[in-house]
């Protein structure tokens, strides 16, 4: 049942405020400015002994993991990074007993992720799952974890589960942070930010008509560049994947800081750039990158917290706490991918060559 929507992708994009409500529900502890994650299976002493966090996932779940790694570093000050589960499995990685491994998966059945989990378990590592489907293989094989509670996701292309996974990581980062050195004041600040998310998502969804119009302009691009810096970079990666998957337009994501080391050579009017420009301590740096693109006659669409002069168009999204901004900034770009694909007449819920869960090697 599509509840009045033409596609599941559209329906699922519009379900995101409710989905985020669900991942937050019952988990916030205002008394200690932290969150409770019942299934984590990690006591405070263990949480304090973690020396590193390694997050493993594929595709969109990997991108959510990249955002999660940044949140864990920022809020809990534990070195963290994300890696595609398939790469991890095949490179005979060093498995370290003081590292917390986290497997991320919507379906909980992706074979590359499951195989990585099994290999880690065999070597005695502690593995948590950040999973949507309750009781799925990865959820069962993990030592504990967080259910993402996005609800069933039918469209092959992931939208609401991505958003909920990033929120689940914010909860984990806050929890680990408050077990370690994150202050009560910062805990309160993050909790207040989390509570603002559903309403802010609905605000973003109201820009749909504007984005639909933009999509008509992008539908004839042969290729697009997505850029972002630090918090914006995984958002650019995910937005680029979304566009590729549903519209079949080639897209490439790059860290904005790397532009001058190569991709600037590509800039010309026929290659539009989508830039993620949060109002954080890197705003001026990001503006300088827009200037470099403009100087080469590149067309720019900015996703930002306020109008960007150097951009041809800006989609303004509501500001949250710096650490939580990545949760919101990709949502207008889900709509952009959707409307671009619609303009091109693509099979949105079932893109060619893709399957919802990749249970094979
Ligand atoms: C993206 C997409 C894929 C999946 C990937 C992992 O829209 O559908 O990239 O994200 O195959 O799937 P899960 O999260 O089920 O492990």
Q: Ligand 1: which residue has its CA nearest to atom 4?
A: 59
Q: Ligand 1: which residue has its CA nearest to atom 8?
A: 157
Q: Report the largest interatomic distance among the alpha carbons of the chain, rounded to a whole angstrom.
A: 56
* Rounded distance between C-alpha atoms, residue 305 and residue 79, angstroms: 28
Q: Which two tokens stand for residue 93?
A: 């990685």
Instruction: Tell me which residue of 117, 109, 106 sits closest to 158, measured CA to CA.
Output: 106
Mean of pLDDT over the chain = 96
Catalytic status, residue 350: no
Q: Ligand 1: which residue has its CA nearest to atom 2?
A: 157
Q: Taking each helix axis from N to C terminus, what angle separates 160-179 and 16-24, rounded to the nearest 10 degrees?
A: 30
Q: How far is the CA of 161 from the centre of ligand 1 (A)?
A: 10
Closest atom, ligand 1, to C-alpha of 357? 15
Instruction: Tell me which residue of 65, 56, 50, 134 sits closest to 326, measured CA to CA.
Output: 65
Q: Taking each helix axis from N to C terminus, what angle separates 184-205 and 331-343, rounded to the nearest 10 degrees?
A: 20
* Rounded distance between C-alpha atoms, residue 230 and residue 233, angstroms: 5
Flag whether pLDDT at 357 surpasses 90. Answer: no
pLDDT value of residue 353: 87
Q: How far is the CA of 48 from the centre of ligand 1 (A)?
A: 31
Do 150 and 122 meet the contact criterion of CB atoms below 8 Å apart?
no
Closest atom, ligand 1, to C-alpha of 58? 6
Q: Read off the pLDDT band of 186 (50, 70, 90).
A: very high
* Rounded distance between C-alpha atoms, residue 54 and residue 119, angstroms: 14
Q: How far is the CA of 241 from the centre of ligand 1 (A)?
A: 10
Q: How far is the CA of 40 from the centre of ligand 1 (A)?
A: 23
- Give pLDDT tens digits for 243-276: 999 999 999 999 999 999 999 999 999 999 999 9
* Rounded distance between C-alpha atoms, residue 78 and residue 118, angstroms: 24
Q: Ligand 1: which residue has its CA nearest to atom 6?
A: 58
Q: Which two tokens stand for residue 175?
A: 């929890």
**To test ligand 1's pocket by mutation, which of 12, 13, 58, 155 has the most ligand atoms within 8 angstroms of CB?**
58
Flag whether pLDDT at 218 surpasses 90. Answer: no
Tell me which residues have their CB closer than 6 angstroms to ligand 1: 58-61, 105-107, 110, 113, 156-158, 245, 357-358
pLDDT value of residue 359: 84
Q: Read off the pLDDT band of 356 (50, 70, 90).
A: confident
* DSSP helix/strand/coil, 80: strand
Flag whether pLDDT at 355 surpasses 90. Answer: no
* Rounded distance between C-alpha atoms, residue 325 and residue 327, angstroms: 5
- Give pLDDT tens digits for 287-334: 999 999 999 999 999 999 999 999 999 999 999 999 999 999 999 999
Q: Ligand 1: which residue has its CA nearest to atom 3?
A: 59
What residues contact 106, with CB distance under 8 A and at least 6 apart? 60, 61, 131, 132, 133, 148, 150, 153, 158, 161, 165, 357
Do 75 and 323 meet the contact criterion of CB atoms below 8 Å apart?
yes
Closest atom, ligand 1, to C-alpha of 113? 16
Q: Which helix (H) or strand (E) holds 258?
A: none
**To test ligand 1's pocket by mutation, which of 61, 165, 330, 352 has the most ligand atoms within 8 angstroms of CB?**
61
- Give pLDDT tens digits for 74-133: 999 999 999 999 999 999 999 999 999 999 999 999 999 999 999 999 999 999 999 999
pLDDT value of residue 352: 86
Q: Ligand 1: which residue has its CA nearest to atom 10?
A: 60
Q: How far is the CA of 323 from the centre of ligand 1 (A)?
A: 24
* Rounded distance between C-alpha atoms, residue 361 and residue 359, angstroms: 7
Q: How far is the CA of 43 from the centre of ligand 1 (A)?
A: 30
pLDDT value of residue 358: 84
Instruction: Give the angle subtended at the CA of 20 by the CAs of 18 and 24, to the nearest 5°.
Output: 115
152-184: b (≥16 Cβ within 10 Å) or e:
ebebbbbbbbbbbbbbbbbbbbbbbbbbeebee
pLDDT value of residue 361: 80
Closest atom, ligand 1, to C-alpha of 133? 15
Closest atom, ligand 1, to C-alpha of 110? 16
pLDDT value of residue 181: 96
Instruction: Give the ipTM of the model, two decimals please.
Output: 0.98
């Amino acid at each position: 049942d599509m509840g009045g929507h033409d596609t599941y992708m559209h329906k699922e994009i519009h379900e995101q405020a409710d989905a985020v409500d669900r991942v937050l529900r019952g988990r916030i502890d205002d008394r200690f400015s932290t969150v409770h994650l019942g299934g984590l299976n990690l006591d405070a002493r263990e949480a304090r002994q973690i020396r590193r966090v390694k997050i493993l996932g594929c595709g969109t779940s990997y991108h959510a993991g990249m955002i999660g790694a940044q949140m864990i570093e920022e809020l809990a000050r534990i070195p963290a990074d994300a890696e595609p589960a398939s790469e991890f499995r095949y490179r005979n990685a060093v498995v370290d007993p003081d590292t917390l491994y986290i497997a991320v998966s919507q379906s909980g059945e992706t074979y590359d992720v499951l195989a990585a989990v099994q290999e880690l378990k065999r070597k005695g590592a502690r593995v948590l799952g950040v999973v949507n489907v309750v009781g799925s293989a990865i959820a069962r094989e993990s030592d504990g974890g967080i259910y993402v509670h996005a609800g069933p996701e039918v469209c092959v292309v992931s939208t609401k589960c991505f958003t909920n996974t990033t929120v689940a990581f914010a909860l984990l980062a806050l929890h680990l942070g408050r077990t370690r050195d994150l202050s009560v004041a910062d805990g309160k600040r993050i909790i207040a930010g989390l509570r603002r998310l559903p309403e802010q998502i609905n605000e973003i969804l109201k820009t749909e008509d504007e984005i639909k119009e933009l999509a008509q302009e992008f539908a004839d691009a042969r290729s697009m560049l997505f850029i972002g810096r630090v918090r914006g970079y995984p958002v650019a990666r995910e937005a680029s994947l979304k566009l590729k998957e549903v519209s079949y337009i080639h897209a490439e994501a790059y860290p904005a800081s790397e532009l001058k080391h190569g991709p600037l050579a590509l800039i010309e009017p026929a290659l539009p750039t989508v830039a993620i420009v949060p109002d954080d301590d890197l705003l001026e740096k990001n503006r300088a990158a827009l200037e470099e693109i403009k100087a080469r006659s590149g067309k720019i669409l900015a996703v930002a917290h306020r109008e960007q002069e150097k951009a041809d168009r800006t989609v303004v999204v509501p500001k949250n706490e710096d650490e939580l901004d990545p949760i919101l900034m990709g949502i207008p770009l889900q709509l952009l991918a959707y409307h671009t694909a619609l303009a091109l007449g693509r099979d949105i819920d079932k893109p060619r060559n893709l399957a919802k869960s990749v249970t094979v090697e």
